[in-house]
Amino acid sequence: MTFKVLLIDDEPWALEGLQLWIPWEQLGFEICGVCENGAEGLKRMEERKPDLVMVDIHMPVMDGLEMIEEWRRRGNGTTKFIIITGYSDFDYARKALKFRVSRYLLKPLDEDQAVFEIRAVVKELIKEQEQLHIGQVVQREHEILSIKEALMGKELSIEANQVIESLSPSAEEWNVCLVQVPQENAARWISLAADFLNKWDTVYMVRLRNNLVSIVFGDAAAHETSEPIRKQLEIMARRLASFRAFMAAGSAVPSLTRIRHSQITAEEALLHAFYEQENSFILDYDKLKDQNFSKHYNQLEILERILAAFQLIDHAAYRSVVEYMQQTFLQTRVHPNEAQKFVIYLLHEIRTYMDKHISQNSGTLNQLFEIPNLDEASLTFDVLIGMLYSCGRVCFELLLKENPAEAQGIVQDINDYIHVHFREGLTIKMLAEHFFLHPAYLGQLLIRKNGIGFNEMLHNLRIEEACRLLQMNQYKNSEISEKVGYSSYPLFLKQFEKRMDMSPNDYKKNVQI
């Protein structure tokens, strides 16, 4: 860390010597100013807030000890002082100790002795900075714990209530921005958000659960000219949109003591994220509070139509009822909790039906599709409907396995997806997540239908594309390696030689011939 030093002496040659003879930069200082008397020094100290002041005692207008006395009287107790004088009178030294002067140097200045004393001051400053930082971290954590209790509606202890009341006046209104982020991305999202938000003292990030974070923020009144933190949160939402996090702001309150109300309204606003496809903006309770959810839908009819489609092995009828369900839920805005429970219930019913009717596959039915838990943050309406479509394709493929044309449908979709995304860092796990299939089942399905496994198919497509790019003779081999999806050139070279029986350079020569 770099500290600031202020130099004060009424003799120009002495000031010049202090600047030239002492290696300030090596010692960890930058010179923030020079002065010729104590009165000017007081003004500069108010402006620059130096960590260390090197000051002569005997100066016109105001001497060094008078300046230090006045500076201490104003409540500035942390500034370090090294006094310099040609007088070795004990009374001066004793008075300097009274004003907590760090060091006492005599003129003519001994450079080595001065450097020694300054190094000692640096050690003191570093130790104090570390202690201050630790204290600030502890205090911040204590504030966050108190705010967390208030958010959760707990009865506050006397100490926590005092913390909340002491923080409240630092902003004219307080609010909560509730963030729901997939658990696997939560740690990274929190780290990036903290880097963005740590410049505001009135912003507190409180982790409520693994996938749920409350950002408590205090803003000035709406008429203030400074950019509101609420606007900055919108910027952050756009920057972190790739994390699939949903954000919702509650209703603002005039005091931090009432932050529980903002938390409750933010939770209500966040429910609307279930039907939203865009996650680069913040849902606003004040704009959504009049939009009510419905808990009424024809649950029995939907279930009966789905089971009938399975009994008739009618994939078209199954897709029709899922489309009907999709349109109905979107139009009536079925409550997210009800919609999630019902879709997961349907998935279990389908699993049960398949378990009864595909006895030869009963040992591997758990690998057909994965049924999510209700507490997963990524269970939006689009995701759940996608699961119904995907599991239907898999199940009807098994039910209609005697009809190769029908059974080939999902494999064709998977192959098409691989052909589009093979240049990316595609893995069997990512592919399985996209089609809501178990990775092991997906791998077996591709081998059975394509005759080769996923990795072999991926390498074939990449090397085929590499050959096309080599024929163009526009890129370096290393650039082609990256363009077709390889993270390292040796891996690309190995796979190319394995399939082409020659190196990329030899291939280019043969093409040119």
Of 90-104, 127-141, 361-375, which has the strongest mean pLDDT? Answer: 127-141
User: Are residues 22 and 67 in contact, defined by beta-carbon separation less than 8 angstroms?
Assistant: no
Q: C-alpha angle with apex 141: 135 to 145, nearest 5 degrees?
A: 145
Model pLDDT, residue 322: 96
Residue 114 domain-assigned?
no
The parent domain of residue 75 ranges over: 3-109
Residue 430 domain-assigned?
yes
On the question of pLDDT at 433 being above 90, the answer is no
On the question of pLDDT at 361 being above 60, the answer is no
Q: Which of 3-17, 93-107, 151-165, 465-479 has the lowest mean pLDDT?
A: 93-107
Assign residue 199 the CATH number of its domain. 3.30.70.270
Model pLDDT, residue 407: 45
pLDDT higher at 381 or 242 = 381
- Tell me: do 422 and 468 sit in the same domain: no
Give the number of residues written for the chain. Answer: 513
Which of 403, 420, 451 is where one domain is finished? 451
pLDDT higher at 427 or 107 = 427
- Tell me: do 304 and 445 sit in the same domain: yes
Q: Is the CA virtual torsion 508, 511, 512, 513 positive or negative? A: positive
Model pLDDT, residue 419: 93
pLDDT in tens, 453-499: 999 999 999 999 999 999 988 899 999 999 999 989 999 999 999 99
- Cross-strand partners of 105: 84
Q: Which of 62-76, 151-165, 404-418 has the lowest mean pLDDT?
A: 404-418
- Tell me: do 440 and 461 sit in the same domain: no
Q: Which residues of 200-211 are buried (b: 16+ CB within 10 A; e: fewer)?
A: eeebbbbeeeeb
Residue 264 domain-assigned?
yes
- Tell me: do 337 and 224 sit in the same domain: no
E strands along 220-308, which residues? 246-249, 282-284
Assign residue 50 the CATH number of its domain. 3.40.50.2300
- Tell me: do 329 and 413 sit in the same domain: yes
pLDDT in tens, 308-339: 888 777 888 899 999 999 999 999 999 999 99
Residue 133 domain-assigned?
no
* C-alpha–C-alpha distance, residues 484 and 503, integer Å: 16
User: Are residues 422 and 381 in contact, defined by beta-carbon separation less than 8 angstroms?
Assistant: no
Model pLDDT, residue 360: 55
Residue 294 domain-assigned?
no
Closest residue by Cα to residue 177 from 288, 282, 286? 282
Closest residue by Cα to residue 398 from 453, 441, 349, 454? 441
Reported as type and span, the H/E element at residue 193 is helix 183-197
For strand 80-85 and strand 52-56, is the pairing parallel, antiparallel, or unpaired?
A: parallel
- Tell me: do 462 and 395 sit in the same domain: no
- Give the list of residues 6+ apart from residue 343 with CB closer than 8 angstroms, or none: 384, 385, 387, 388
Give mean pLDDT, residues 125-131.
91
Closest residue by Cα to residue 385 from 350, 346, 348, 411? 346
User: Are residues 259 and 174 in contact, defined by beta-carbon separation less than 8 angstroms?
Assistant: yes
On the question of pLDDT at 43 being above 70, the answer is yes
Model pLDDT, residue 429: 87
Give mean pLDDT, residues 202-223.
86
* C-alpha–C-alpha distance, residues 431 and 433, integer Å: 5
- Tell me: do 211 and 260 sit in the same domain: yes
User: Are residues 30 and 2 in contact, defined by beta-carbon separation less than 8 angstroms?
Assistant: yes
Residue 117 domain-assigned?
no
Which of 238, 265, 288 is where one domain is finished? 288
Q: C-alpha angle with apex 324: 319 to 329, nearest 5 degrees?
A: 125
- Tell me: do 446 and 461 sit in the same domain: no
Residue 367's pLDDT band, with cuts at 50, 70 and 90, is low
Residue 167 domain-assigned?
yes
Model pLDDT, residue 408: 58
Count of CB atoms situated within 10 Å of the CB of 396: 23
- Tell me: do 271 and 316 sit in the same domain: no
* C-alpha–C-alpha distance, residues 462 and 454, integer Å: 12
Residue 477 domain-assigned?
yes
Burial of 444 (0-12, 13-18, 19+ CB in 10 A): middle
pLDDT in tens, 142-169: 999 999 999 999 888 999 999 999 999 9
Quick one: how many helices (H) and strands (E) in the chain? Answer: 22, 10
pLDDT in tens, 197-211: 988 989 999 999 888
- Tell me: do 244 and 315 sit in the same domain: no
Model pLDDT, residue 359: 59
Of 99-103, 271-275, 400-404, which has the strongest mean pLDDT? Answer: 271-275
Which of 266, 288, 310 is where one domain is finished? 288
On the question of pLDDT at 223 being above 50, the answer is no
**What is the total count of domains within the chain?**
4
Q: Which of 174-183, 271-280, 353-362 has the lowest mean pLDDT?
A: 353-362
pLDDT in tens, 232-280: 999 999 999 888 889 999 999 999 999 999 999 999 999 999 998 777 7
* C-alpha–C-alpha distance, residues 61 and 41, integer Å: 11
* C-alpha–C-alpha distance, residues 81 and 70, integer Å: 13
Q: Is the CA virtual torsion 463, 465, 469, 471 positive or negative? A: positive
* C-alpha–C-alpha distance, residues 111 and 105, integer Å: 10
* C-alpha–C-alpha distance, residues 450 and 447, integer Å: 5
Residue 362's pLDDT band, with cuts at 50, 70 and 90, is very low
* C-alpha–C-alpha distance, residues 280 and 294, integer Å: 26
- Cross-strand partners of 177: 215, 249
- pLDDT > 70 in the chain, percent: 92
Residue 19 CA, chain-centre distance (Å), reads: 45
The pLDDT mean for the chain works out to 87
- Tell me: do 397 and 472 sit in the same domain: no
The helix/strand/coil state of 106 is: strand
Assign residue 499 the CATH number of its domain. 1.10.10.60
* C-alpha–C-alpha distance, residues 48 and 113, integer Å: 27
- Phi/psi of residue 186, nearest 5 degrees: -60, -50
- Tell me: do 258 and 310 sit in the same domain: no
Reported as type and span, the H/E element at residue 147 is helix 111-151
